[in-house]
């Protein structure tokens, strides 16, 4: 059985470690995935933000370009009907051409312009400006190229390129929007660089560098994040939380199972010890009764001798009956099938009554008893019989585990709505390592299967359970070789006016 439990424990340890290991590995893999996703997302966000910021500046230049085309003092736009292809050709030239340059007007036709015009009209001019800038100029802006459709338009375009600068505030706002779309709320810094960098002092995590210039030379920008681990943790909070919960659950179940196994093992040992002691306890009265009955049956005894043997049989049968009764009461109390007939009881009177019942045993060992009762009546709502049994059990314990002359002190007083009874003796005492266990069923301070003091390990367990059924507590203080004090606390009956005890 012991070897089987060891194998079960070993398998449980392996399974628990396996579950914990798998959870940790899964969490690590999730962390790596979150790290990769974070790197990808911040780079994609910055790339998209720089593209949108560049497009915004391109649109600003495009709007300027349309203004230049509409300025009749700068350029002139004409058209005529192509005699061969019978479509309208548009011509673009400077209003005041540069003399040294012999430049032909820029000519273009639009396939989707179906009107056949011999000369330009306001509508045709507007159409030309709109589609010329939308198709050709926008393509040049995206390529970052400079095309001189006319000398003056080229010069103005070059100047616009030169004066056009990155708008950091707009880029930051666009970048924030892109991060929010990807559920990233970490703080960042946007740093402009002329050349790609491998890192930035004071920052621990950076994106790739992206160009924000509309044409050469490049102007690069990076986003730096001080502590991306916070982002990883935020993204993984549910995964980490569930993993920790599963790990904690596995460890709790493992610990609880171990505790249960050890408790069952301990209980089995206590029961074996109880059975061994009970066997000794049962053999003696049974053997005595058997011998007495045999003597009465087989020998011609005088009436006095027969009465003596009958007395022995009665005494031993009473002993057996008491043992069986104590076991049955303990089992019944454990199953809470004991019905308590509660009523108002004066504790001073109950303690005095129990002491009177134990007077012969106390006188037999020449015990001295000191009582210290509060002058007011302490009334509790309790079952008189069972509460009396609790007091009797505590007195029996003092008698069993005495040394030399027994000295008993019983103190009864009120404290915070409870009646407290302290029973102190000068007996053997209990070692600290056993004090918390003496209230457990079947537990006796270890001494093998032979006990000088007869008992079954049920008395204190029964007494504490009854105290708790009355809403109270039973505790002890003890020093080995000096003595033990049991403290019984029972709630006082409500609305009971304090009255002095009548002597």
Give the tens place of pLDDT for each residue, 252-300. Answer: 887 787 788 777 777 666 666 656 555 655 665 676 777 777 777 777 7
Instruction: Compute the residue count for the chain.
Output: 503
pLDDT of residue 208 exceeding 50, the answer is: yes
Q: Which residues pair with 482 in a beta bridge?
A: none
Query: Predicted confidence band at 503 (pLDDT cuts at 50, 70, 90)?
Result: very low
Residue 488, pLDDT above cutoff 60: yes
Instruction: Select from 235, 267, 289 the last residue of a domain.
Output: 235
Give the DSSP letter string of 251-303: HHHHHHHHHHHHHHHHHHHHHHHHHHHHHHHHHHHHHHHHHHHHHHHHS---H
Kindly state whether residues 114 and 215 are assigned to the same domain: yes
Which of 105-114, 171-180, 366-375, 459-468 is predicted with the least confidence, judged by mean pLDDT? 459-468
Does residue 15 fall inside a structural domain? Answer: no
Is pLDDT at 245 greater than 60 in this prediction? yes
231 and 90 in a single domain? The answer is: yes
* pLDDT score, position 177: 94
In a domain, 5, yes or no: no
- Using alpha carbons only, what angle is made at residue 434 by residues 486 and 414, rounded to the nearest 5 degrees? 20
Residue 448 has pLDDT above 50, yes or no: no
Confirm if 484 and 429 have CB atoms less than 8 A apart.
Answer: yes
Answer yes or no: do 115 and 156 share one domain: yes
In a shared domain, residues 273 and 210: no
**501 is a domain residue:** no
Reported as type and span, the H/E element at residue 466 is: helix 459-469
Q: Containing domain of residue 37, as a range?
A: 23-235
Overall number of domains in the chain: 3
The pLDDT confidence band at residue 131, using thresholds 50, 70 and 90, is very high
Question: Do 438 and 469 have their domain in common?
Answer: yes
**Quick one: pLDDT band at residue 195, thresholds 50, 70, 90?**
very low
Residue 14 falls inside a structural domain: no
Residues 302 and 316 in one domain: yes
Averaged confidence pLDDT in the chain: 81
Same domain, 208 and 314: no
Decide if 157 contacts 65 (C-beta within 8 A).
yes
What is the C-alpha separation between 157 and 276, in angstroms, rounded? 109
**49 & 196 share domain:** yes
Q: Strand, coil or helix: what is 352?
A: helix
């Amino acid at each position: 059985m012991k070897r089987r439990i060891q194998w079960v424990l070993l398998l449980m340890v392996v399974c628990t470690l396996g579950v914990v290991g798998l959870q940790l590995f899964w969490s690590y893999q999730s962390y790596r995935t979150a790290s990769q996703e974070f790197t990808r997302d911040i780079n994609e966000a910055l790339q998209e933000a720089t593209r949108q910021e560049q497009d915004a500046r391109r649109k600003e230049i495009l709007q300027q370009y349309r203004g230049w085309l509409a300025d009749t003092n700068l350029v002139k736009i004409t058209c005529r009907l192509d005699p061969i292809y019978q479509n309208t050709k548009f011509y673009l030239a400077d209003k005041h051409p540069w003399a040294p340059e012999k430049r032909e007007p820029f000519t273009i036709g639009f396939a989707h312009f179906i009107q056949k015009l011999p000369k330009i009209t306001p509508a045709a001019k507007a159409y030309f400006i709109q589609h010329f800038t939308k198709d050709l100029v926008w393509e040049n802006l995206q390529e970052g190229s400079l095309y001189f459709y006319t000398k003056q338009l080229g010069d103005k375009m070059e100047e616009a390129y030169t004066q056009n600068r990155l708008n950091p505030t707009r880029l930051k706002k666009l970048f924030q929007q892109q991060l929010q779309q990807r559920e990233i709320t970490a703080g960042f810094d946007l740093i402009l660089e002329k050349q790609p960098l491998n890192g930035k002092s004071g920052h621990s995590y950076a994106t790739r560098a992206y160009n924000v210039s509309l044409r050469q030379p490049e102007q690069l920008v990076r986003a730096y994040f001080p502590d991306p681990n916070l982002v990883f943790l935020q993204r993984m909070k549910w995964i980490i939380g569930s993993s920790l919960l599963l790990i904690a659950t596995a460890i709790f179940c493992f610990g609880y199972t171990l505790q249960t196994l050890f408790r069952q093992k301990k209980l089995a040992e206590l029961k074996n010890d109880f059975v061994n002691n009970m066997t000794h306890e049962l053999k003696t009265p049974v053997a005595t009764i058997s011998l007495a009955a045999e003597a009465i049956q087989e020998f011609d005894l005088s009436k006095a001798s027969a009465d003596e043997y009958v007395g022995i049989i009665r005494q031993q049968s009473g002993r057996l009956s008491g043992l069986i009764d104590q076991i049955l009461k303990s089992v019944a109390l454990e199953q809470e099938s004991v019905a308590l007939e509660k009523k108002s009881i004066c504790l001073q009177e109950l303690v005095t009554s129990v002491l009177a019942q134990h007077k012969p045993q106390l006188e037999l060992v020449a015990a001295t008893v000191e009582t210290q009762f509060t002058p007011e009546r302490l009334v509790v709502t309790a079952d008189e019989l069972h509460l009396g049994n609790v007091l009797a059990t505590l007195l029996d314990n003092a008698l069993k585990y005495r040394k030399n002359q027994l000295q008993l002190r019983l103190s009864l007083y009120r404290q915070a709505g409870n009646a407290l009874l302290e029973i102190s003796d000068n007996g053997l005492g209990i070692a600290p390592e056993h004090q918390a266990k003496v209230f457990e069923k079947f537990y006796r301070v270890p001494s093998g299967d032979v006990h000088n003091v007869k008992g079954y390990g049920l008395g204190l367990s029964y007494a504490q359970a009854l105290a708790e059924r009355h809403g109270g507590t039973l505790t002890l203080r003890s020093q080995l070789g000096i003595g033990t004090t049991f403290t019984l606390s029972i709630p006082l009956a409500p609305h009971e006016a304090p009255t002095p005890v009548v002597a």
